[in-house]
Structure 1
């Protein structure tokens, strides 16, 4: 029996062809994917570029991002769930494969593909992904994009895919998925004898593409849906196309679902059967995705400045900044590294009358463990901005360590746009905000994630060795990892405030080259100071750092105020 998610996709497949035909778009809609848009070239992995003026360019970009650096020349390629054939036509344009085969369960899709896409090496077949008619070891590269959610028997698809793949063949996979289903998929593919080569989240890039979709296109589709007078089709297609008003779009935007790209490769290991329990869990994937699309019972309200009696509160647990300006005095707001809380700065005290330190406590950390940690930078910055709003009419500055440095930078950008920028941005052990995270951890199963956290350092040994304590802090660590992995700004993003960087040449996580790129993100002064002590040098070098900060925030204030 098909679950609700499978029925939704089948209905969408049947209705989409009708919709496109009535809208006069049938001859132009070569792709059914959600597209990819990025303002951070460092995050892109496609080997070929698509000009922005080309039709369907964001959808074509997503195809090339999913392929990445997978070698296709001289290969036999199969697109399972080929839709309207645009992906294979695009690969034929940029590569020289020996064979391109498109498989789809929709007769209307296959009829369209055969009419629109011609090529000696290109052919399209009606077929079921869970019962492929092709011989063993007959395909070098399998592409499966935004299609697996419609399969009634996902374990059977994985086994079929493994069967037809040639030795050392490639499986390029992308889809929307909830976090609980991700380790199940990975376990099943590993049992099938595949090795994970790469995992990427492109949730933000896909959301950006959906937001940029032409409003004229949405209006035309809405008009045709109204003419067809089919309310259920209207709801299903809104969901299938990830319209910004759909529950699925909201789940992606809030981090309850993710859009992933994975590259697998068939190994020499002998495949093992997928056990009954795992098979049943995989078959419930659609139900889990349905659940994360349900609106939360108590969704957080839109952030707004708190009334005076509540100002600060849990966000500023260790101090109470003055709201009235004092001559020559600066409030320095500090953000911790990933997994850390306000207590990181508990012992950071200054005898100077020129500045005072105010550590910020993020949801999901320390005394706020009961709250959900943020995985979306924009939403976190909105809430932090509401907290800081009462204090930005007087001299203020930001300090951030590692991930905290990137959050601080986005806060500086927010207030710069409002005309109340910080007087200074101080970053510690942090790569420039345009440097993407290369090693994704947030998707790992619990045991592998805990091992990776131990390798990174920074988590006390007594916590790492205590299972209950690790279970307590794990959600915050995983959420912070996801927040970092999904964030990357453009290389030309900059602020007017001066930036001072502290970095360690022996940092095993951030190279000096990555750190020194901060100079590209300020239109003001930039200074950099090398210290010893590895990535977490803020612990050993506290006296030296406090002395430097005191110098930065004492004498410069008078000069900057004088020139204002």
Structure 2
């Protein structure tokens, strides 16, 4: 391996470990700010030429929901047991439970304050939440038909260990629905990790253009939330986190320095 490339991979892996405590504090802070339950999704969204039919109460979260729909609706979930790893504030798990007719949806997240919010806020049949670590899932082997992971794994300190946990808790024939962003230096590394995880890759798709479109369409709403909810001295950091226009993150998508990837994998 090229020494420069090897150094970059090591650097990004170390960065993920070092930033984990920061993200825990950050998500706790978001939960503290959002008194009116306006922020129930934390993903960048998805937009294409189709307009998903939604209930009126879900319209404000259209683009984030469309990302979940693009991922979760790729296979039929009706009557299945679903696990979402990295469920955040529960918006995606709630959408799946309410719209896609699974038997059960279990959401798990490392941020206890987010899980406390989910348990208090959502009352949907078959939907439940628990606190836990993606690298050590508190479930028995062969427990779920589908595992979903959306825009969460780039913060994990050990991707191989996470993929091993996904394999362990999936039932034979079960699916792993996975979507996340990666710096261009790490895309080949991610593909190698997926190739080696004992799950078969069924579909691979780059959805960066759809994510960029969603960020642009949702920009005004996100800016409004930041202005209303976030102290001014944190506006810059929050805009970067939200991917608003002119931020480094938004530009990195546009310039191809980051890609947003979507995979369907299956356990034999």
Distance 1:179 1:4, change over 3 A: closer
The one of 141, 154, 157 aligned to 1:152: 157
Higher-helix-fraction structure: 2
Q: Does 1:255 align with 2:256?
A: yes
Moved over 6 A (4+): none
State the distance in 2 between where 1:110 and 1:97 align.
Answer: 21
Q: What is the CA distance between 1:7 and its match in structure 2?
A: 4.5
Q: Contact conserved, 2:173 with 2:267, CA < 8 A, in 1?
A: yes
1:209 paired residue number:
214
1:4 paired residue number:
15
Q: Contact conserved, 1:63 with 1:87, CA < 8 A, in 2?
A: yes
State the distance in 2 between where 1:184 and 1:216 align.
Answer: 35
Q: Secondary structure at the match of 2:60?
A: coil
2:8 paired residue number:
none
Distance 1:95 1:114, change over 3 A: same
Q: Contact conserved, 2:28 with 2:111, CA < 8 A, in 1?
A: no
State the distance in 1 between where 2:94 and 2:47 align.
Answer: 21
State the distance in 2 between where 1:110 and 1:93 align.
Answer: 19
1:50 paired residue number:
54
1:178 paired residue number:
183
Q: Tell me the matched-pair count.
A: 256
The one of 180, 188, 191 aligned to 2:193: 188
Query: Which structure exhibits the higher relative contact order, with contacts defined as CA atoms closer than 8 Å and separated by 6 or more residues?
Result: 2
**What whole-Å deviation, never above 9, does each CA across 1:277-311 have from its counterpart, x for those lacking one?**
xxxxxxxxxxxxxxxxxxxxxxxxxxxxxxxxxxx
State the distance in 1 between where 2:136 and 2:178 align.
Answer: 18
The one of 39, 46, 66 aligned to 1:36: 46
1:143 paired residue number:
148
**What whole-Å deviation, never above 9, does each CA across 1:73-102 have from its counterpart, x for those lacking one?**
111100000001111111111222222110
State the distance in 2 between where 1:10 and 1:130 align.
Answer: 15
Greater alpha carbon shift after TM alignment, 258-267 vs 9-18: 9-18
**What whole-Å deviation, never above 9, does each CA across 1:423-455 have from its counterpart, x for those lacking one?**
xxxxxxxxxxxxxxxxxxxxxxxxxxxxxxxxx
Q: Does 1:14 align with 2:25?
A: yes
Distance 1:34 1:111, change over 3 A: same
State the distance in 2 between where 1:216 and 1:192 align.
Answer: 39
State the distance in 2 between where 1:68 and 1:92 align.
Answer: 12
Higher-strand-fraction structure: 2
Distance 1:241 1:12, change over 3 A: farther
Q: Contact conserved, 2:206 with 2:261, CA < 8 A, in 1?
A: yes
The one of 86, 89, 93 aligned to 2:91: 86
Distance 1:109 1:15, change over 3 A: same
Q: Contact conserved, 1:141 with 1:172, CA < 8 A, in 2?
A: yes
Distance 1:20 1:80, change over 3 A: closer
1:121 paired residue number:
126
2:6 paired residue number:
none
State the distance in 2 between where 1:213 and 1:241 align.
Answer: 10
Bigger-Rg structure (1/2): 1
State the distance in 2 between where 1:97 and 1:220 align.
Answer: 32
Match runs of 1:314-333 below 5 Å = none
TM-score between the two structures when normalised by the length of structure 1? 0.42
Q: Contact conserved, 2:72 with 2:96, CA < 8 A, in 1?
A: no
State the distance in 1 between where 2:31 and 2:141 align.
Answer: 37
Q: What is the CA distance between 1:32 and its match in structure 2?
A: 1.0
**What whole-Å deviation, never above 9, does each CA across 1:448-479 have from its counterpart, x for those lacking one?**
xxxxxxxxxxxxxxxxxxxxxxxxxxxxxxxx
The one of 164, 170, 173 aligned to 2:169: 164
Q: Does 1:238 align with 2:239?
A: yes
**What whole-Å deviation, never above 9, does each CA across 1:226-247 have from its counterpart, x for those lacking one?**
35x4x5xx44433321122221
State the distance in 2 between where 1:101 and 1:15 align.
Answer: 23
Distance 1:216 1:146, change over 3 A: closer
Let me know the Cα RMSD of the aligned residues.
Answer: 2.5
Distance 1:209 1:264, change over 3 A: same
Distance 1:133 1:51, change over 3 A: closer
